[in-house]
Amino acid sequence: MDRVLVTGGAGYIGSHACKALARAGFEPVAFDNLSTGWREAVKFGPLVKGDLLDRAAIDAALSQYRPVAVMHFAALSLVGESMKDPGKYWRVNVDGALNLVEATVAAGIRDFVFSSTCATYGDQDGVVLTEETPQYPINAYGGSKRAIENIVTDFGAAFGLNHVIFRYFNVAGADPEGDLGEQHVPETHLIPLMLDAVAGRRPALTVFGSDYPTRDGTCLRDYVHVSDLVDAHVLGLKWLLDGRGSRVFNLGTGTGFTVREVIEASRAVTNREVPVVEGPRRPGDAVALVSGSARAIEELGWAPKRSTLRQMIGDAWGWASRPGYGG
């Protein structure tokens, strides 16, 4: 069975990717320092506890497991924190990725899937973002991800590192079968924060900014179901293993929802009110981010099946309602 090294494989998206890889016939090897990931989420292959800032640990994992490809999710990802401590993001995200890419090439592995972000585009209101949209990140998180894209493409040109780069939008939902879900510490994502407020685990949901130039004054985002997202990553891996060359793909639905619209959808799904308080805008937040994903649909054959707002909230609510959640 072919193996794939999955950095961040104990995290929210990485663990879902491991399940999708296992279902597709691969053995996922999760490489994670467990700083934000969960050992209990590693269910579909071995766990290597290691840090991307430790080059020797990466070399050892690649030597032991000899994967056919690397799938890179591990990163710091809190936009607000990146605005306050940019050095941390450049050091951990970029230095770690450089170690990983260099180790990958040194091990003779030539297929690399990188999980990037729409944050590389910055704040470009009124534009449906495509892969050709210029990248102007407005926070250190997006800037570090753009830098990693540059590293990957430079190593592609110099050493033949074939790569697929995914720039995706707001990921939401949980594994429909209940094996995995979203549980960050601290939690910063809208839907789990909202459901925590619904369930009484926090007093209220804070809406950051109500004076944006959108249809109701709150930020607008494109949401994609985590299961659909990782299905695209498996397709990207197969694209590379079939020798189809390097490519960049956006992953989203092309439809944006405001924060208030997400709250209204939650009321319909949970049949409960969402306690809300209004707060100021957060530094680094874009007004609106909406994806054009035609390339992934047409070229990869990606077909997002669960990325409706009600489905994403419903799957997340199922995960958040299970016994022991938050323990």
Which residues are catalytically annotated? 141
Instruction: Dump the DSSP string for 53-68.
Output: T-HHHHHHHHHHH--S
From residue 164, alpha-carbon distances to 109, 127, 218 in Å are 14, 24, 33
Number of neighbouring beta carbons within 10 Å of residue 6: 34
Question: Do residues 317 and 195 make contact, with C-beta atoms less than 8 angstroms apart?
Answer: yes
Q: How far is CA 34 from CA 50, 79, 94, 287, in A?
A: 8, 20, 18, 32
Helix, strand, or coil (residue 198): helix
281 DSSP 8-state letter:
P
Encoded amino acid at 275, one letter: P
Phi, psi angles (nearest 5°) of residue 239: -55, -45
Q: Count the alpha carbons within 13 Å of 55 in the hemisphere toward its beta carbon.
A: 10
Whether the Cβ atoms of residue 269 and residue 229 lie closer than 8 Å to each other = no
SS3 179: coil
Q: List phi, psi (to 5°) of 43.
A: -120, -10
Contact present, 43 and 179 (Cβ < 8 Å): yes
* C-alpha to C-alpha distance for 121 and 46, rounded to whole angstroms: 35
Q: Report the candidate in 77, 54, 74, 79 with the shortest Cα–Cα distance to residue 114.
A: 74
